[in-house]
Amino acid sequence: MDQFHLEDIDIYRVLSSMHEGVIISDTEGIVRFFNETQAGIDDINPKDAIGKKITDIYKVTNDTSPTMRCLCSGAPVINEPILYQTQLGRVANIISNAYPLYKSGKLIGAISFSKDYQLLEKIIVQDKAFPEKKEKESSARFHFADIIGSDPDILNSVRIAMMACNSPSPIMICGETGTGKELFAQSIHNHSLRAKKPFIPINCTAIPETLLEGILFGTSKGSFTGAIDKNGLFVQANGGSIFLDELDSMPLTLQAKLLRVIQEKKVRKLGSLKEIDLDVKIISSVARLPLETIQNGTLRMDLYYRMGVVSIMLPPLRKRKGDLNELIRYFIAKYNQKLQVRVSDISKNVADLFNEYHWPGNVRELEHIIEAAMNLIGGEKTIRLKHLPPHIFSFAGQDMSGRILIKDAVGPSKDLLFSDLSGSQNKNERLMISNALRSASGNAAKAAKSLGVSPQSFHYKLKKHGLKRKDFSSL
């Protein structure tokens, strides 16, 4: 076995492929390395950044730039939230870590790692600090007419949601992942008198605790290093609706502050003594029964009583299988148009499998399976077992494990071994990765995010399938 030597590592190749933004600068703050993830965060071509000083690229000073402070002090700057603007006007919201670089005990530069936690531009569109940005229309696009199904439980959920639309009381939507919680939240907003006002969704899991309070309530200049006077989401949603997805993932200390905002109908920016009056419809969601979240300590009981004045329970797909056929027809029609194919139906074997399957990912999983199958169907008009992603067979029941007998209408019956499923999975995976890269114009980070996989896993799969993202950058 060959010996492992640290000096043999191609460190720049590692830094280039990282999901975090990476900048290396010399002691003067001149950029010597700028990876593509950082380029995506800042919307700057690496060639335009290398050779320039940090303060010439960003609207920062030696005091507000973590990298420059690191160079001045020779000490790391750890986990610092910062909202900044490039000289070209791009705004970014990141957590920065900057570390000094030494050689033989002498400081030679600094390396910084940036984790992008910027929300959509709507987070800052009303800030006084950026008056050139105009207020955007509501991002809610779904209506109750988009909710497919005639199951009594889902119809009852729609009835309750419609009745509570114009009530000032908060609404809590409870349902497993993939049951359509945001679809309901958007429909509630669009059915209300607030429909033409802002609808602002926020996933409480996706934002780190260090940034979430400032994002929700806003910041005042000087409240933390690099902070500017910025309205939070509650103020931006004034007159409209705010959707707090996965509320039970919010830190308990922040839940207490949220409770006060709801009770007082006022919000105070970080670092400010001034209170702002609120008129906001608050919609929240949890993925488990509220009682469970309270018992396991992830949701305050007093917050639940305020947020769950109206509770809407969304049934999982396994309990509304009578809606399967209607949902399947809807998704086939949707992807016929999107993928430019002419699929008409599913085979009886697929129908039997779908009815037996327990659908852990609910309606969202059904949609993804239909989409995946229609990407592999070629010129056929019927979705068959061979078109389905292999994972569904593993959970469909013991009687369908090992070998799967295909008796579809076209061609002779045959046994489909799991080795064949593996081959289909590889083809499907390669096709989906290629499509994601094509849609992202070769941006690996965006492609990985669209597929819901980690950047590390995505780069492994690129190598596995012999794909190069640069081949898609000009498509």
Per-residue pLDDT of the chain (475 residues; tens, 9 = 90+): 456 666 667 888 888 888 789 999 999 999 999 998 898 888 888 888 999 999 999 888 888 899 999 999 999 988 777 777 777 777 677 778 999 999 988 999 999 998 875 443 333 333 333 333 334 455 788 999 889 988 999 999 999 999 999 999 999 999 999 999 999 999 999 999 999 999 999 988 877 776 788 889 888 876 555 556 788 899 999 999 999 999 998 889 889 999 999 999 999 888 788 889 999 999 999 999 999 999 999 999 999 999 999 999 999 999 999 999 999 999 999 999 999 999 999 999 999 999 989 898 999 999 999 999 999 888 899 999 989 988 787 655 433 433 343 444 344 333 343 344 445 566 667 877 887 787 777 888 788 777 777 777 777 788 788 888 777 765 5
> CATH top-level class for 318-416?
mainly alpha
Whether the Cβ atoms of residue 173 and residue 181 lie closer than 8 Å to each other: yes
**Distance (Å, whole) CA 437 – CA 175:** 32
CATH number of the domain at 6-116, please? 3.30.450.20
**Distance (Å, whole) CA 108 – CA 71:** 9
The strand pairing partners of 30, in sequence order, are 53
Model pLDDT, residue 60 = 86
Whether the Cβ atoms of residue 458 and residue 440 lie closer than 8 Å to each other: no
* Phi, psi torsion values for 148, nearest 5 degrees: -95, 135
The strand pairing partners of 245, in sequence order, are 203
Start-to-end C-alpha separation, the chain = 42
**Distance (Å, whole) CA 58 – CA 42:** 9
User: What pTM was computed for the model?
Assistant: 0.60
- CA-CA distances (angstroms) from residue 404 to 151, 170, 360, 384, 398? 31, 49, 21, 12, 11
Beta strands in 296-339 (DSSP E): 310-313
82 burial via Cβ count (<10 Å: 0-12, 13-18, 19+): buried
Token pair in block for residue 389: 């992603």
- Containing 95, the helix (H) or strand (E) segment is strand 91-103
At position 218, the amino acid (one-letter code) is G
Model pLDDT, residue 430 = 80
Model pLDDT, residue 424 = 54
Whether the Cβ atoms of residue 165 and residue 188 lie closer than 8 Å to each other: yes
**Distance (Å, whole) CA 200 – CA 242:** 5
- Could you give the 3-state DSSP secondary structure of residue 226? coil
- Containing 162, the helix (H) or strand (E) segment is helix 152-164
Token pair in block for residue 185: 């939240």
**Which residue bears the tokens 């399957």?**
357
Q: Say which residues have a Cβ less than 8 Å from residue 337's Cβ, sequence separation at least 6.
A: none
Token pair in block for residue 229: 């006077």
Q: Say which residues have a Cβ less than 8 Å from residue 111's Cβ, sequence separation at least 6.
A: 22, 23, 24, 98, 99, 101
Model pLDDT, residue 444 = 82
**Distance (Å, whole) CA 311 – CA 262:** 17
For 316, half-sphere exposure in the C-beta direction (CA atoms, 13 angstrom radius) is: 14
How many other C-beta atoms can be found within 10 angstroms of the C-beta atom of residue 313? 16
**Distance (Å, whole) CA 119 – CA 233:** 11
Indicate the fold that domain 121-315 takes in CATH. Answer: Rossmann fold (3.40.50)
Whether the Cβ atoms of residue 444 and residue 19 lie closer than 8 Å to each other: no
Beta strands in 143-248 (DSSP E): 171-174, 199-203, 218-219, 230-231, 241-245
Long-range interactions of 349-354: CB distance < 8 A, separation 24+: 349/384, 349/385, 349/406, 349/407, 349/408, 350/383, 350/384, 350/385, 350/388, 353/385, 353/388, 353/392, 353/393, 353/396, 353/400, 354/324, 354/328
Whether the Cβ atoms of residue 426 and residue 376 lie closer than 8 Å to each other: no
Domain map of the chain by residue range? 6-116, 121-315, 318-416
Model pLDDT, residue 400 = 43
